[in-house]
């Protein structure tokens, strides 16, 4: 008997998640309240005279950290105050939830240094857990499904300084302990967990993510990939605990979707770009598919990168794979055989696409790239997908009427969400879309408040001055309609 294959799906599925995404260290503030320890990003200083890489602290030595700490009185550390969400979350969630913007999900992170202030304690800090109890309850009261990230640049600073962060194998146990505490406490209210934010950012986030100071070893590449290996094993073991103990939990691997287009049709450019893109997907290949792919082993061998797996590691990776795959999406770039060769000598491996516009920070705007990325991830993993960050930072000020008129933001989101809908029609199993920083927060990379992403303006400048007042921007009403119509009205 024959059966018609059509129709394809032209609308977002029922139950699609429309969310806002945040990270604790960019919004909570209260850096020294509730028993919290110092985290690796509490030392991120706003200094307009230093390059963005240093503000984000992708690479720091212990000496540099000590230097930064010695400037406690004369430098500005915006992530220490965020937008004061630790104290304002009730009103903020009301503004974003069912009676406000209408979102039905929120992604934020648990600040590791609130739960284990030093990183190697046996017992968690109760005050930290109590805060997240209240926060999760407030999310649910506002119709917001919580998506929680366990590690989003909030490793206790002591763990990095005293143990070399993820380079120390013992951090596997420390992280699994953290996950167990969180799952035990919150499993009844939080089903979706992202274990590590942008786990593939190995090359750019040695300190603020992996917690590996540059003076940890004289072989930084091996140190980073060893740290990544330890992190991935920890993810597999945390997943094993969750699956065994609370079968309803869904564990996700998250990447910074960073695919590049080949610069030309020359086969060498296409191959070099393909290989470069594969390496960007290494952690999801391991954590969603269960094994190190051959291209990675070749990459290690050709560069003398030494990664040691202990007994049981590879078995754990194979047995405890992620339930879903998710990614942040901001931009695409261009790659060539030459840019890859230059990268081996210390240059960047990609460059700007001359056909695309960029925001003031040089981030190219490419809605079609989002559809392409969704299709690539679908073809590769065959698991539910979530876009857990998408958005664009703009420089903007309220007009005389007190409102930010941000038609450019409406255009940005309309174009990107339209491409997600195209991907749905392509058959991609995408289940949620989270707008990054639905409310203005401190930028991760530049530490500026003036790089604004939100549908809600927060009256606060780069130096923390301002009333903190929250005011919906023009795009707020537009996004409300999008969510209410489940993406039908763009």
Q: Which residues are at the interface with ligand BG6 (CB under 6 A)? A: 23, 26, 197-198, 256, 328, 389, 393, 436, 443-446, 451
Name the DSSP class of 440: -
- The smaller minimum CB distance to ligand BG6, of residues 176 and 435, is found at 435
Minimum Å gap between C-beta 280 and ligand BG6 is 13
Burial readout 370-400 (b: 16 or more C-beta within 10 A, e: otherwise): bbbbbeebbeebebbbbbbbbbbbbebeeee
Alpha-helix runs per DSSP H in 170-219: 170-186
The contacts of residue 80 (CB under 8 Å, 6+ apart) are: 29, 31, 32, 42
- The smaller minimum CB distance to ligand BG6, of residues 57 and 336, is found at 57
Minimum Å gap between C-beta 308 and ligand BG6 is 29
- The smaller minimum CB distance to ligand BG6, of residues 97 and 393, is found at 393
Q: How far apart (Å, rounded) are the C-alpha atoms in residues 450 and 212?
A: 29
Minimum Å gap between C-beta 196 and ligand BG6 is 11
- The smaller minimum CB distance to ligand BG6, of residues 125 and 445, is found at 445
Minimum Å gap between C-beta 160 and ligand BG6 is 18
Strands (E), 225-273: 250-257, 260-262
Burial readout 91-120 (b: 16 or more C-beta within 10 A, e: otherwise): ebbebbbeebbbbbbbbbbbbbbbbbbebb
Minimum Å gap between C-beta 277 and ligand BG6 is 18
Strands (E), 47-144: 105-109
Minimum Å gap between C-beta 59 and ligand BG6 is 16
- The smaller minimum CB distance to ligand BG6, of residues 224 and 452, is found at 452
- The smaller minimum CB distance to ligand BG6, of residues 270 and 279, is found at 279
- The smaller minimum CB distance to ligand BG6, of residues 217 and 359, is found at 359
Minimum Å gap between C-beta 208 and ligand BG6 is 10
Let me know the angle formed at the C-alpha of 13 by 8 and 14, rounded to the nearest 5 degrees: 140
Handedness of CA 263, 267, 271, 277 (dihedral sign): positive
- The smaller minimum CB distance to ligand BG6, of residues 25 and 177, is found at 25
> Which residue of the chain is nearest ligand BG6 when measured via CB?
445
Minimum Å gap between C-beta 475 and ligand BG6 is 17
| Tokens linked to 475 | 């795009």
Minimum Å gap between C-beta 66 and ligand BG6 is 25
Q: How far apart (Å, rounded) are the C-alpha atoms in residues 272 and 349?
A: 10
- The smaller minimum CB distance to ligand BG6, of residues 24 and 337, is found at 24
Q: How far apart (Å, rounded) are the C-alpha atoms in residues 370 and 430?
A: 12
Strands 333-335 and 250-257: unpaired
Phi, psi values for residue 200, rounded to 5°: -85, 5
């Amino acid at each position: 008997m024959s059966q018609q294959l059509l129709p394809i799906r032209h609308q977002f599925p029922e139950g699609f998640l429309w969310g806002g995404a945040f990270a604790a260290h960019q919004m909570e503030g209260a850096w020294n309240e509730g028993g919290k320890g110092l985290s690796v990003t509490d030392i991120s200083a706003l200094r307009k005279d230093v390059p963005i890489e240093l503000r984000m602290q992708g690479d720091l030595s212990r000496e540099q950290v000590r230097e930064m700490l010695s400037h406690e009185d004369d430098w500005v550390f915006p992530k220490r105050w965020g937008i004061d969400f630790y104290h304002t979350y009730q009103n903020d969630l009301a503004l974003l939830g069912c009676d406000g913007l209408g979102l039905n999900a929120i992604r934020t992170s648990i600040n590791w240094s609130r739960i284990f202030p030093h990183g190697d304690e046996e017992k968690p800090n109760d005050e930290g857990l109590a805060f997240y109890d209240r926060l999760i309850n407030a999310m649910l009261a506002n119709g917001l499904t919580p998506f929680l990230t366990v590690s989003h640049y909030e490793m206790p600073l002591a763990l990095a300084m005293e143990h070399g962060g993820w380079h120390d194998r013992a951090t596997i146990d420390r992280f699994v302990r953290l996950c167990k505490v969180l799952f035990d406490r919150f499993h009844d209210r939080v089903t979706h967990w992202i274990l590590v934010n942008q786990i593939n950012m190995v090359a750019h986030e040695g300190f603020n993510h992996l917690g590996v100071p540059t003076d940890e070893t004289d072989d930084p590449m091996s140190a980073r990939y060893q740290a990544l290996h330890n992190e991935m094993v920890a993810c597999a073991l945390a997943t094993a605990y969750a699956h065994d103990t609370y079968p309803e939990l869904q564990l996700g691997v998250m990447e910074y979707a960073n695919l590049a287009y080949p610069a030309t049709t020359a086969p060498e450019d296409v191959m070099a770009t393909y290989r470069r893109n594969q390496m960007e997907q290494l952690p999801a290949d391991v954590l969603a598919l269960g094994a190190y792919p051959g291209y990675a082993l070749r990459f290690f061998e050709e560069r003398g990168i030494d990664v040691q797996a202990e007994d049981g590691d590879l078995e754990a990776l194979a047995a405890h794979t992620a339930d879903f795959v998710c990614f942040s999406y901001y931009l695409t770039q261009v790659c060539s055989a030459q840019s890859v060769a230059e990268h081996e000598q210390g240059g960047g491996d990609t460059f700007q696409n001359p056909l695309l516009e960029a925001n003031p920070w040089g981030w190219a705007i490419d809605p079609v790239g989002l559809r392409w990325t969704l299709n690539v991830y679908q073809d590769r993993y065959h698991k539910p997908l979530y876009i857990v960050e998408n958005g664009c930072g703009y420089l903007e000020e309220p007009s005389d009427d007190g409102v930010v008129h941000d038609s450019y933001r409406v255009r940005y989101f309309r174009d990107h969400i339209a491409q997600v809908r195209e991907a749905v029609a392509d058959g991609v199993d995408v289940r949620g879309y989270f707008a990054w920083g639905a409310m203005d927060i401190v930028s991760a990379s530049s530490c500026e408040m003036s790089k604004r992403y939100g549908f809600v303006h927060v009256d606060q400048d780069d130096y923390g001055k301002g009333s903190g007042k929250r005011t919906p921007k023009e795009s707020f009403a537009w996004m409300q309609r999008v969510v209410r119509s489940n993406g039908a009205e763009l």
